[in-house]
Amino acid sequence: MKCNQDCKTGKRSCRTDCFAFDIVKVKKELSYRKMYGKEEGRQKMKKDYDEIRIEDLEVFANHGVFPEENVLGQKFLVSAVLYTDTRRAGLTDDLSASIHYGEVSAFIDRYLREHTFQLLERAAEALAEELLLHTAGLEKIRLEIKKPWAPVRLPLKTVSVVIERQWHTAYIALGSNMGDREKYITDAVEALGALKGCVVEKCSSFIETPPYGVTDQDDFLNGCLKLRTLFYPKELLRELNRIEMEAGRERIVHWGPRTLDLDIILYDDLVYEGDELCIPHVEMHKRDFCAAASFLRSRRMCAIRRMAKTVAEMLEEVRENARKRIIKY
């Protein structure tokens, strides 16, 4: 399996280019702010994408905790900011080059009328996901659902829930050194592509690599893929672990033989350290098969070393160090 086009990811600069720090020193609080998009994330998104706005679309639907709300229904007001690239539409005056806000409005109205949720939070989550999945060119959405007739028995103008959801880019390392190695990996690629909210955009060719850590075992077959996903990092990790378990993965010996090994190498420009997950992967710079993937070579890494390096630069550094060790001994 080979990539069908050259990498273009290097055109987007890393949000952390201006920092120089080790991943082990990054605080969880800072990481979560970057993961869930506070002010810095919003400013970056405003810079990267244009906006199409729909404000206070009135929908009569049956959402609420009380049974009467599900039967009688009430008015909801929906506002959406659609983040996309309107450049081509602006140059060509072609509606098909942009997002048709009339069709999006009709979709919102139909979806909220045809489904019933108890919570505004659930209604907003489900609607945002469906819009991202079915609207071509939509990279991110800011969605607000207002409930002006909320049954709280107190005077108020409205209550509302506001969420922001978007597509993310993750890079996943693939590996196996037991049984039919290629089948385990290709089945994993297909399983990831079959997940709702995941699109496998590119997959590298597979190469054999010597085992790492515990060397008294068979060689690995390894590769790397680029994944477009709506999952947050920990949600994606759970799905990877589930796919590993379905492939018969047993975690008995650390760095031991395995039917399938799936690791998150990169996730957007996120820098995160937790008990179960570190992004970027702390040993990415030691894995030739990741750095050798053409669509990863131009990715800029800032959190692994004290200075910013591209993946290709790290790969060359690893190989040079290996040559020096051979000469020394």
Kindly list the strands in the beta sheet with 74-84, ordered across the sheet, starting from the edge strand earlier in the chain: 50-61, 74-84, 140-147, 159-166
Q: Is the dihedral of CA 125, 128, 133, 134 positive or negative?
A: positive
Cis peptide before 257 (omega within 30 of 0): no
Among 212, 223, 220, CA closest to 322: 212
Tokens of 190: 């297909």
The three-class DSSP label of residue 24 is helix
The Cα–Cα gap between 200 and 206 comes to: 16
Q: What is the DSSP letter of 14?
A: P
Residue 104 has, within 13 A of its CA and on its CB side, a CA count of 26
Q: Which residues are catalytic?
A: 147
The 10 Å Cβ neighbour count of residue 63 is 21
Nearest CA among 174, 173, 177 for reference residue 259 = 177
CB 133 within 8 A of CB 187: no
The whole-angstrom separation of Cα 265 and Cα 224 is 9
Question: How is residue 179 annotated by DSSP?
Answer: S
